[in-house]
Structure 1
Amino acid sequence: MTTQTQIPVVVNGACGKMGREVVKAVSKAEDLILVGAVDKNPTVQGEDIGEVIGCGPLEVPVLSDLEATLVMAQSQGLAVMVDFTHPDTVYEAVRSAIAYGVRPVVGTTGLSNQQIRELAEFADKASTGCLIIPNFSIGVVLMQQAALQAAQYFDHVEIIELHHNQKADAPSGTAVQTAQMLTELGKPYNVSQVNETESMPGARGSVTEDGIRIHSVRLPGLIAHQEVIFGASGQIYTLRHDTSDRASFMPGVLLCIRRVMPLKSLIYGMDKIL
């Protein structure tokens, strides 16, 4: 049973790499209480999520029925769903959470701009807060802010993002968001000096409408990394953020769980709530 001072939290994708870290972090936070653990893995259905992830019993079973779990969470007060699932399922999961009055905090990337607009409209109509966060690292937010400062003085920039080889989408949501933030400055980038050709398609990476190149690397041994490289005559300015442990994202996740509670609409990006 929750208390008035505790926020009920459902973790969708609880047995995944990020989901496990969220479960641990939520279970240790005095103002939060884990009330639901949802995962499609058939081998762990009904088992205690704490036992599954190796942190001791939490008395919360792993279930596959997200909607039933959302109904149960909503009955315990204003609740939050943290989603770390898959690009193919995240849209419906977030829409379901909003429909049941549960506030989504979304770490799953791969939502299209159209899907984000539709979710924003739905959240507005429901007066339900929603946070879509491409990256929960405070260091990434600082890197993006530094990139905005550098872009005032550099006209050429490319982004390299590097992730583990089990990441389903490319480019990463962080890279896309970084490019969008640079675009919002309203200046042209990377004005072509030559007529480029690619002897191998994709050699120059993907390119945004305003000319920012994004390159994606997928290798085992990586977690989440990004470089923003600025170039000018006689100089290169490189901003880089590296992640060595998924626990580094947890302060940002816990912050978002708390900050989403009073919201009545969708917000994209952690920089908007810091």
Structure 2
Amino acid sequence: MIKVGLMGYGKAGQAVAEVFHADPSYQLCWITRRTTASAGEVHAATGVPVMGLDTTSMGSLLDAHPVDAIVDFSNSEALLSYGEEVRQRQLMLVSAISSYTPEQLQYAHTLGQSTRVLCSPNMTVGINFLILAAKLLRTIAPFADVEILEQHFRGKPEVSGTARKIADTLEVDADRITSLRLGGIIGHHEVIFGFPYQTVRLIHNSIERKAFGTGAVFALGELLKCENGFYTFDDLLMKLVRSQLALD
């Protein structure tokens, strides 16, 4: 059984905790939050202890409650607070942070010299398959017009990091992204290819935030099969695609 520590206690983190807790391959040992946690605070749905990082260091936390892997759904600044512990203890890392600076992302790459690291701005299997399929279609038909539509809950202020990744992957300008903020939408991404006399739409909807948890479980399971290094979700999916093609 793989022991896991979860960074982040927002809506996504709480949903991810439920998925890991329900999976018999993993033991979710603790959850951290940025603000002070009450004495004896636990995640209501799982009973897993919740700890405030403003009252303890990552080193002390890992000494008292060792884990094999860290799953990060917190914020971009957290990486530097635990990165050296990941390196020295050779902990696996699955990070779902979408807002890393180039410097932070480069730092994450260096951790791959000592352990296994995966970073993805969106942790759902479906959206990463969409990106892979869109990349393939873009290669086949570079002449097609491309538009990207992303929809999220009303309170999300910034352009979706996943939409930005799609634009970067397809080498289209960011002004081809249209953003809508409506009600309580969890996440909708759509890539539209305009051909002469036809269109192709690739669509992904996140129905519940638990989709991020099933993606993180998948990513960590695949990371266990890898050697030390820095990986993206694309790397894991392509490894599976190549294996399937070899069987065919």
Q: TM-score normalized by structure 1? A: 0.74
* Aligned-partner Cα distance in 2 for 1:137–1:215: 21
2:121 to 118, 134, 138: 134
Q: Which residue of 2 aligns with 1:24?
A: 18
* Aligned-partner Cα distance in 1 for 2:134–2:82: 30
Q: Work out whether residues 135 and 174 of structure 1, in 8 Å CA contact, stay in contact via their aligned partners in 2.
A: yes
Most deviating of 141-150 and 223-232: 141-150
* Aligned-partner Cα distance in 2 for 1:148–1:229: 12
Secondary structure of the residue aligned to 2:98 is coil
Q: Which residue of 1 aligns with 2:4?
A: 9
Q: Work out whether residues 171 and 216 of structure 1, in 8 Å CA contact, stay in contact via their aligned partners in 2.
A: yes
2:164 to 171, 176, 180: 176
Q: Which residue of 1 aligns with 2:109?
A: 120
* Aligned-partner Cα distance in 2 for 1:70–1:100: 12
Would you say 1:143 and 2:143 are equivalent positions?
A: no
1:35-184 matched pairs, under 5 angstroms: 35-42=29-36, 44-50=37-43, 54-58=44-48, 60-64=49-53, 65=56, 67=58, 68-74=60-66, 79-87=68-76, 89-93=77-81, 95-101=83-89, 102-124=91-113, 127-151=114-138, 152-153=140-141, 154-167=143-156, 170-183=158-171
Query: What runs of 5+ residues in structure 1 fail to find an aligned partner?
Result: 1-5, 184-188, 190-206
Aligned residues: 230
Q: Deviations over 1:72-92 (max 9, x none)?
A: 344x5xx111111124x2432
Query: What runs of 5+ residues in structure 2 fail to find an aligned partner?
Result: 238-248
Q: Which structure has the greater CA radius of gyration?
A: 1
Identity of aligned residues (%): 24
* Aligned-partner Cα distance in 2 for 1:266–1:233: 40
2:177 to 194, 208, 214: 214
* Aligned-partner Cα distance in 1 for 2:165–2:128: 11
Q: Work out whether residues 38 and 66 of structure 1, in 8 Å CA contact, stay in contact via their aligned partners in 2.
A: no
Q: Which residue of 1 aligns with 2:190?
A: 227
Q: Which residue of 2 aligns with 1:186?
A: none
Would you say 1:33 and 2:27 are equivalent positions?
A: yes
Secondary structure of the residue aligned to 2:164 is helix
Q: Work out whether residues 160 and 216 of structure 1, in 8 Å CA contact, stay in contact via their aligned partners in 2.
A: yes
* Aligned-partner Cα distance in 1 for 2:62–2:178: 38
Cα drift, residue 36 of structure 1:
1.9
Q: Deviations over 1:230-270 (max 9, x none)?
A: 113333322211111112232211122223345411112x2
**Residue type at the aligned position of 1:26:** F
Most deviating of 26-35 and 230-239: 230-239
Secondary structure of the residue aligned to 2:112 is helix
Q: Deviations over 1:202-246 (max 9, x none)?
A: xxxxx35xxx72233334311111111111333332221111111
Q: Work out whether residues 8 and 73 of structure 1, in 8 Å CA contact, stay in contact via their aligned partners in 2.
A: no
Q: TM-score normalized by structure 2? A: 0.81
Q: Which has the higher helix share?
A: 2
Q: Work out whether residues 159 and 179 of structure 2, in 8 Å CA contact, stay in contact via their aligned partners in 1.
A: yes
Q: Work out whether residues 227 and 239 of structure 1, in 8 Å CA contact, stay in contact via their aligned partners in 2.
A: yes
Alpha-carbon distance change, 66 to 259 in structure 1, aligned in 2, over 3 angstroms: farther
Q: Work out whether residues 71 and 94 of structure 2, in 8 Å CA contact, stay in contact via their aligned partners in 1.
A: yes
Q: Deviations over 1:130-181 (max 9, x none)?
A: 110222222212322321232222432121222224446x332322222232
Q: Work out whether residues 132 and 267 of structure 1, in 8 Å CA contact, stay in contact via their aligned partners in 2.
A: yes
